[in-house]
Amino acid sequence: METTTITDIDSLLGVWAHPDDEAYLSSALMASVRRASGRVAVATATRGEHGTPDPDTWPPEKLAGIRAQELLESLGLIGVDDHQWLGHADGSLTDVPFEAGVAQVVALIERTRPAVIVTFGPDGMTGHPDHQTVSAWVTEAWRRTGRSGALWYATTTPEFQAEWEDLHRQLGILIDEEVAPVTQASELALELHCDEGLLDLKYQVLRAHASQTAVLEEMLGTELFRRWWATEFFVAATPGTDAG
Q: What is the structure's pLDDT at 178?
A: 63
Residue 46 resides in a domain: yes
Residue 134 has pLDDT above 90, yes or no: yes
**What is the C-alpha to C-alpha distance for residues 124 and 81, in angstroms, rounded to an integer?**
26
Alpha helix segments (H runs only) across 46-184: 60-78, 98-112, 124-127, 129-144, 158-171
Give yes or no for a contact between 9 and 113, defined as CB atoms under 8 angstroms apart: no
Residue 15 lies in a domain: yes
The verdict on residue 242 lying in a domain is no
Q: Is residue 243 part of a domain?
A: no
Res. 175: pLDDT tops 70: no
Look at the chain and report how many structural domains it folds into: 1
d(CA 170, CA 188): 27
**Within-domain flag for 107:** yes
195 is a domain residue:
yes
Each residue's pLDDT tens digit, 189-243: 999 999 999 999 999 999 999 999 999 999 999 999 999 999 999 999 986 665 5
| Alpha carbon distance 198, 230 (integer Å) | 9
- CA 13 – CA 19 distance, rounded (Å): 15
Domain that holds residue 78: 6-236
The model scores a pTM over 0.75? yes
Mean local confidence (pLDDT), 52-69? 90
Domain holding 105: CATH number?
Answer: 3.40.50.10320
Start-end of H helices in the chain: 21-35, 60-78, 98-112, 124-127, 129-144, 158-171, 196-208, 210-220, 222-228
Strands 116-120 and 39-46: unpaired
Q: Each residue of 71-113: pLDDT tens digit?
A: 999 999 999 999 999 999 999 999 999 999 999 999 999 999 9
Structural domain includes residue 198:
yes
Q: Which amino acid makes up residue 116?
A: V
CA-based nearest residue to 31, from 4, 3, 12: 12
The answer to whether residue 241 sits within a structural domain is: no
Q: What is the mean pLDDT of the chain?
A: 93
* b/e per residue 193-215 (b: at least 16 CB within 10 A): ebeeebbebbbebbbbbebbbee
